[in-house]
Chains A and B, each alone.
Chain A
Amino acid sequence: MNQGPLIFLGSFLAMACSWFGLILMPQVQIGRQQAVLLPDTGQFYPAPRLGLAAQGAQVYRANGCYYCHSRAVRQATTLFNVTLAKLPKGDTPEAETELSKKVLLAVLQARPGINARAARGLIHTAPKPLLEKVPREQAELARGLIEKAGGKVAIEAQPEGADIARNWGRRRTVAADYLYDDPVMLGAQRIGPDLANLGARKMGEAGKTWNLWHLYDPKLGAQDSTMPPYAHLFKKQKIGRTPSPNALKLPASKIEKGYEIVPQREATALVAYLQSLRADASLFEAPTPKPPPEEAESRTPEQAAGGANPPAR
């Protein structure tokens, strides 16, 4: 029997099934995804990168940055925050007291370890967090108890994982975060830190300066860094009548007297791209709790290297 056609047909079918299952089906599911309208801000997410940031994406690709840096935040699990809402006003003070008592009992059950005084304080100063970072079952149980007692709770998801604890993101990255990326450079190694939310860590002028320093000489910001310097993105030039406004502010030991280091267009574009990297909007498939009010973000060791001035040498 001529096995040739049989082998060809069999392997053709295997190939076709794989193509159908891992090319066609994903294309149907995520290949025509559209930007979503965020209810909080009224903006579409993600916003397409324009101008310098879009050019910077090509500089990122052309220099092969994705060989050392990933752009994908991982999440180990999702925990939940339960917030006790303000108690509704009753018809009479007695009704309110009765409701308060029931909710107090429910709070004592929902949060073992809390004493009655603290629980009363919680109810009086509501809305206040009742439980933080608890598993789903515990959150559901708390909700059941409080609602049965006549109170109300708000539950929000709290992503949890080592990447999130390192301040690399507030949630895991999902398909929507890369909608307008071309090419999508997820990266395959974490020789350097994850960059998915670099724009949230290095913001404003200080962030721009830090990024330029880091590209010119990574050891300026982190002494043990193994990142190679990308000096070809900068130009060393003699200082003219006045120094260039874009020149990097470097310690005297790092630059020859009478010379300055000026970032080229590629460096500026790359930094614009790096500062545009954010993937923290709360989405249906990856919810995040509402950000805290405007206050200094708590710093982890990873952020300690950022700042307005390079370390003195």
Chain B
Amino acid sequence: MPPVPPAEIDASCRLPVLLLLFGSAGWLLLSSLFALLASLTFHVPAMFRGCSWLTYGHLQAANLNLMVYGFAIPAGLGVLLWLTGRLGRTTLALRECATLGALVWNFGVLAGLLGILSGNNTGFEWLEMPRTANGVLFASYALIGLAAVLTFHARREPQLYVSQWFILTAIFWFPWIFATATALLQCVPARGTMQAVVHFWYANNLSVIWLGFIGLAIIFYFLPKLIGRPLYSAKTAMTTFWVLAVCGCWGGIPHGSPVPAWMPSLSTMAAVLTVVPVLAVAVNYHKTLQGAQDKLKADVPLRFIQVAVISYVLAGLAGAISSLRPVAEITYFTHFTTALARLGLFGFFAMAVFGAVYYIVPRLTGLEFSRKLAWAHFGCAAAGLAFFVVPLGIGGVLQGLKLNDLDGVRRNLEEAGFMNLTAATLEFFRISTLGDLLILAGNFFFLLNLKLLAWRWCRARCLPALKGCCSRSESGEVTA
């Protein structure tokens, strides 16, 4: 069958993709607001005194879970629906199914958020939403995933591009890890530390595999597309895929956790092996971009993709190094892990999604974004990322060194005392609040840009229709 023209593909997936992307932008703004509020409680601890909904634990849980389930997963789903259609050169299958899934997802996230704030959080950082919300999310995912799988199956382009490998794997990976984690942590809780193992496994699979794969799918598609050249080496990209799929899912269990020693050791081995695909991505990026750096100045999506790749490489290498035992002894339980998580989640995944959104939405709607707002978004996001990750990374390492200062504690040194330790790292934490503020500003510009575009789009489509209705009713004709 002949391939479907791009305009038709875009028209077929417009509604569900726009719903997913717009919804995720809203949740992203809310998530960064919670992050800022959580950060501010370090400056003024009694800020939310007396309010049981806004304890630091709730703010932090809401921040992370909205970022993952409110923004990252639906945005990833939206982009992968579009990519599956475009790469397969076919229209989206089961459009109504995907649209329903996109709508229902937001209810799941809302239920989850209310659950967290009201004290029904589960106790597991990456899975804080209560069971009911998880059930709704799972059902929505199933609807959207089904549409994606059937679209993939109906593809008219027999040759698979690398991004499709990542997308196909990720579609099936999430239900398995999500169902396992929900079942073993919430429905039929495992005994004792087994819960911690399941949690670590789920968090690692979610970030390294699902978010990693979707982010890489975006990078491998948009980087060549925006530069106007083919990817440097598809074979290197495939190596990246296989090594990550085989090794990346074994990481995540930290040294120092109260589990049998073979688990952290296995995780360290896997984490060190993932240096290979990370460097492969760096090589692919560098060679593809070589000689075309001038395109970066003018193209907002490409800048976002660039930051995403750099963050991926840095986060991958830092993650591998910090999984080694001597380094883990210093970095575990410190701000360093927070910084690393933000680098991966925001620096890599969110930035890749932003780049994709700035490319996809104009093609779905036929309207352009405001360039000023887009560049303001980029500036704030990149600066915010730097102001967050760097101080917390350094502060975390200092915190870890002081926590492990056995000699200092033995000699009862004041600087080794816990209160002094907290005070010393507080300055770094305070700088990171600036990072949170900048990221919030950037996300605000992003949502504003989307809303303005939506407003213009609605005005362009709805006003003539309304006028048509009004003029027909005036002339006395029967209206539909």
> Could you tell me which A residues sit within 8 Å of B by CB distance?
2-4, 7-8, 10-12, 14-15, 17-19, 21-23, 26-27, 29-33, 61-68, 70, 72, 74, 76, 160-162, 165-166, 172-191, 193, 218, 222, 224-232, 300-302
Contact = CB atoms under 8 A, between A and B. Distances in A.
Contact of A228 (B41, B153, B246): B41
A88 B2 CA distance: 97
B214 to A, nearest CB: 14
Given A61-B123, A189-B338, A22 B49 contact: no
B246 A14 contact: yes
A165 B410 contact: yes
A15 B45 contact: no
B26 interface: no
A162 B404 contact: yes
Interface stretch (B185-193, B272-280, B366-374): B185-193
A228 B190 contact: no
A185 B153 CA distance: 43
Given A18-B201, A30-B259, 17 more contacts: A4-B153, A7-B160, A19-B176, A22-B201, A30-B260, A64-B55, A64-B60, A66-B123, A76-B406, A166-B409, A172-B258, A178-B193, A183-B185, A189-B333, A189-B337, A226-B42, A301-B417
Interface hub of A64, A76, A172 (most chain B Cβ within 10 A) = A64
A160 B409 CA distance: 12
Contacts of A76: 329, 404, 406
18 contacts: A3-B160, A7-B160, A8-B172, A14-B246, A15-B249, A17-B246, A21-B266, A26-B259, A31-B192, A64-B55, A64-B58, A72-B258, A76-B406, A183-B195, A190-B399, A230-B55, A231-B49, A301-B418
A173 B259 CA distance: 9
A235 B286 CA distance: 61
B333 to A, nearest CB: 4
Given A67-B60, A222-B419, A228 B160 contact: no
A10 B160 CA distance: 15
B176 to A, nearest CB: 6
Given A26-B263, A64-B57, A72-B258, A2 B158 contact: yes
Contacts of B41: 228
A281 to B, nearest CB: 14
A228 B45 contact: yes
A187 B257 CA distance: 10
Contacts of A8: 168-169, 172
A26 B197 CA distance: 8
Contacts of A61: 121-123
Contacts of B334: 189-190
B96 interface: no
B455 interface: no
B121 A64 contact: yes
Interface in B400-448: 403-406, 409-410, 412, 414, 417-419, 422-423, 426
Given A12-B172, A162-B404, A186 B196 contact: yes
Given A185-B123, A186-B196, A4 B406 contact: no
A23 B409 contact: no
B388 interface: no
Contacts of A190: 333-334, 399, 403
B61 A64 contact: yes
B180 to A, nearest CB: 6
A183 B335 contact: no
Given A175-B192, A228-B41, A191 B121 contact: no
A291 B403 CA distance: 25
- Give the interface size bracket for B toward A: 35 or more
Contacts of B403: 162, 190
Contacts of A301: 412, 414, 417-419
Contacts of B405: 162
A222 B403 CA distance: 18
Interface in B122-157: 122-125, 152-153
Given A64-B57, A68-B57, A7 B169 contact: yes
B254 to A, nearest CB: 9
A195 to B, nearest CB: 12
Contact of A231 (B50, B158, B409): B50
B45 A300 contact: no
Interface of B: 41-42, 45-52, 55-58, 60-61, 119-125, 152-153, 158, 160, 165, 168-169, 172-173, 176, 180, 184-185, 189-198, 201, 205, 242, 245-246, 249-250, 253, 256-260, 263, 266, 329, 332-335, 337-338, 399, 403-406, 409-410, 412, 414, 417-419, 422-423, 426
A191 B400 CA distance: 11
A7 B168 contact: yes
A23 B57 contact: no
A162 B194 contact: no
Contacts, number: 213
Contact of A15 (B124, B176, B185): B176
A269 to B, nearest CB: 13
B68 to A, nearest CB: 15
Contacts of B169: 7-8, 11
Nearest to B51: A232
A218 B422 CA distance: 14
Contacts of B258: 72, 172-175, 177-178, 186
Given A15-B249, A178-B193, A183 B122 contact: yes
Nearest to A18: B249
A22 B245 contact: no
In this complex, the member of A2, A62, A70 whose beta carbon has the largest number of chain B beta carbons within 10 angstroms is A62
Contacts of B257: 72, 186
B212 to A, nearest CB: 13
A232 B121 contact: no
A177 B193 CA distance: 9
Contacts of B119: 62-63
A63 B172 contact: no
Given A31-B190, A175-B259, A228-B49, A184 B196 contact: yes
Nearest to B197: A26
B47 A26 contact: no
Contacts of B48: 228
Given A11-B169, A175-B192, A165 B406 contact: yes
Contact of B120 (A62, A72, A182): A62
- Closest 10 pairs between A and B when the two form their complex, measured CB to CB: A64-B57, A183-B123, A62-B119, A18-B249, A11-B169, A165-B409, A175-B193, A301-B417, A232-B52, A190-B333
Nearest to B198: A23
A27 B190 contact: yes
